[in-house]
């Protein structure tokens, strides 16, 4: 068989598309019952997958066969049974948007190059800034995820100090996501200029400790540069006291950032809106559409109260860009570390406008209900304790018989192939997390998880 022409004609395109969409149909239909955990990959398969590309190319059938085998390894993050880490819903509508955006391949770094596509992306950014109560002058940029957004926030906060920032200090909680401290490190902030503030009994940043740390630094001649609160920690979904953090940041003239990568879009719900009170006072907010908007991986962002700060921190052009024309729409190339970037706006815009915002609100509300219900039922199980009541949709629990028994419960869940959970360590104890954040996660899946937990505790009620 001849290899595929580098620019395929209509017949070849139709055949390829049919093969890929048949694959996707089978894949999605199988999700409800497919094992969520396959374990490690067979070394022979890994060898085959590591084969370098062929000189001659070949038909798509055998390649999709390899993809099928590759998919059946590790854990299935597209499954509603995947309750580990922070799940992603892998929305089909957004996957189509990614396909569309890649085929169109417009250059969304500069608005002069793709004003229509940038307007589509900007409509989503404006929706987000108004969701968080930002007014005129706000803006933002879509990035690959929370890590890049947190880094971009640190770079923005740092740039307000000018080129010398040795005295600037970053404050975040001891339960912060590691991308926050990693972002500070990449931004050149020494580790002795990062304070990990202790948390209270509900694992939220302790404002009194934050206050004391800031006062002590000021007395020592240092300059509070950034307070980075978390709205929905990865461990337990805890929300730092945002209003108090905002007050303290304002008192010391520090940038107030909120890492809402996981928790941010719960703002759409009444309960989430109430719990995230104070987020509207942030200078910058990290959000991840590939978390709480259920999109496939690779779409997060940073929104800021005053877009000029973002541009001040990231503007930079070469002579080869002298034809760039400035207009009313933003140049995303001036708002983050990236220049050329994938079209992230299109999948987000397509998903929001196909399903409607209310569909996302209702799905997030359902996740809060599932978490409340799971927590109530776990709390009643003999031999099980919760770390706290869930603030969002992560429920962390352990066996009262200790870490070995807790590890046994986790293993029983994961070995079942029906449910996948991850663990964390808090206060030197092992905790299992049920993270409920996929539109494919249903009440019956949570029932199944609870039945497995009950059986694994080895206790009778």
Ligand X SMILES: Cc1ncc(COP(=O)(O)O)c(C=O)c1O
Interface residue with ligand X, options 89, 139, 146, 347 (CB under 6 A): 146
- Whose Cβ is closer to ligand X: residue 79's or residue 399's? 79
- Whose Cβ is closer to ligand X: residue 28's or residue 426's? 426
Q: Which helix (H) or strand (E) element contains residue 263?
A: none
- Written as one string, the DSSP assignment of 393-448 is SEEEEEETT-HHHHHHHHHHHHHTTS-B-EEEEETTEEEEEEE---TT--HHHHHH
Q: Which among 110, 75, 145, 96 is positioned nearest to 347, based on CA atoms?
A: 96
Does 267 interact with ligand X (rule: CB under 6 A)? no
Phi, psi at residue 87, to the nearest 5°?
-65, 165
- Whose Cβ is closer to ligand X: residue 125's or residue 437's? 437
Binding segment for ligand X among 14-22, 140-148, 364-372, 409-417 (CB under 6 A)?
140-148
Does 172 interact with ligand X (rule: CB under 6 A)? no
Binding segment for ligand X among 246-254, 257-265, 332-340, 398-406 (CB under 6 A)?
257-265
Binding segment for ligand X among 117-125, 143-151, 195-203, 351-359 (CB under 6 A)?
143-151
Does 259 interact with ligand X (rule: CB under 6 A)? yes
Does 406 interact with ligand X (rule: CB under 6 A)? no
Does 262 interact with ligand X (rule: CB under 6 A)? yes
Residue 397: Cβ within 10 Å count:
22
Evaluate whether 358 touches 366 at the Cβ level (below 8 Å).
no
The CA–CA distances, whole Å, from 333 to 50, 102, 177, 421 equal 35, 18, 26, 38
Does 82 interact with ligand X (rule: CB under 6 A)? no
Does 152 interact with ligand X (rule: CB under 6 A)? no
* Beta-bridge partners for 37: 75
Which x/- pattern, by CB under 6 A, does the window 271-290 give for ligand X? Answer: -----------------x--
Does 147 interact with ligand X (rule: CB under 6 A)? yes
Does 300 interact with ligand X (rule: CB under 6 A)? yes
By CB atoms closer than 10 A (0-12, 13-18, 19+), residue 54 is exposed
CB of 8 to ligand X, least distance (A): 34
CA angle 200, 204, 210 (to 5 degrees): 80
Per CB under 6 A, residues contacting ligand X are 86, 145-147, 150, 177, 179, 230, 234, 259, 261-262, 288, 300
């Amino acid at each position: 068989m001849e290899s595929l022409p580098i620019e395929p004609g209509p017949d070849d395109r139709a055949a390829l598309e049919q093969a890929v969409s048949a694959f996707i149909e089978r894949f999605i239909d199988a999700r409800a019952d497919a094992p969520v955990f396959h374990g490690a990959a067979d070394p022979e398969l890994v060898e085959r997958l590591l084969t370098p590309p062929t000189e001659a190319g070949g038909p798509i059938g055998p390649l999709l066969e390899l993809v099928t085998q590759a998919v059946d390894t590790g854990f299935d993050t597209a499954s509603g049974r995947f309750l580990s880490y922070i799940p992603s819903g892998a929305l089909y509508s957004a996957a189509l948007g990614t396909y569309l955006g890649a085929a169109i391949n417009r250059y969304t770094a500069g608005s002069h190059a793709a004003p229509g596509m940038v307007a589509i992306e900007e409509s989503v950014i404006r929706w987000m800034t108004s969701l968080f109560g930002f007014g005129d002058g706000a803006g933002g940029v879509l990035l690959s995820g929370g890590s890049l957004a947190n880094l971009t926030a640190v770079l923005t906060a740092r740039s307000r100090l000018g080129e010398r920032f040795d005295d600037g200090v970053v404050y975040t909680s001891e339960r912060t996501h590691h991308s926050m401290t990693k972002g500070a490190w990449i931004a050149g902030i020494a580790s002795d200029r990062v304070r990990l503030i202790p948390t209270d009994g509900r694992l939220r940043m302790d404002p009194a400790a934050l206050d004391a740390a800031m006062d002590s630094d000021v007395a020592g001649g240092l300059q509070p540069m950034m307070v980075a609160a978390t709205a929905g920690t990865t461990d337990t979904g805890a929300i730092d006291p945002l209003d108090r953090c905002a007050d303290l940041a304002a008192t010391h003239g520090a940038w107030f950032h909120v890492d809402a990568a996981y928790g941010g879009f719960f703002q759409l719900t009444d309960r989430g809106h109430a719990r995230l009170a104070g987020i509207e006072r942030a200078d910058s907010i990290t959000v991840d559409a590939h978390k709480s908007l259920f999109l496939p991986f690779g779409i997060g962002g940073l929104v800021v109260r005053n877009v000029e700060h973002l541009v001040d921190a990231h503007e930079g052009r070469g002579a080869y860009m002298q034809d760039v024309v400035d207009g009313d729409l933003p140049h995303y190339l001036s708002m983050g570390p990236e220049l050329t970037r994938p079209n992230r706006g299109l999948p987000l815009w397509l998903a929001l406008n196909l399903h409607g915002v209310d569909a996302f609100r209702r799905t997030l509300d359902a996740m809060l209900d599932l978490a409340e219900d799971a927590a109530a039922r776990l709390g009643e199980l003999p031999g099980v304790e919760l770390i706290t009541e869930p603030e969002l949709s992560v429920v962390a629990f352990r066996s009262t018989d200790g870490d070995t028994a807790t590890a046994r419960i986790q293993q029983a869940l994961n070995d079942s192939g029906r449910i996948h959970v991850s663990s964390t360590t808090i206060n030197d104890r092992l905790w299992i997390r049920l993270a409920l954040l996929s539109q494919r996660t249903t009440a019956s899946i949570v029932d199944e998880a609870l039945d497995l937990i009950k059986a694994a505790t080895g206790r009778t009620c």
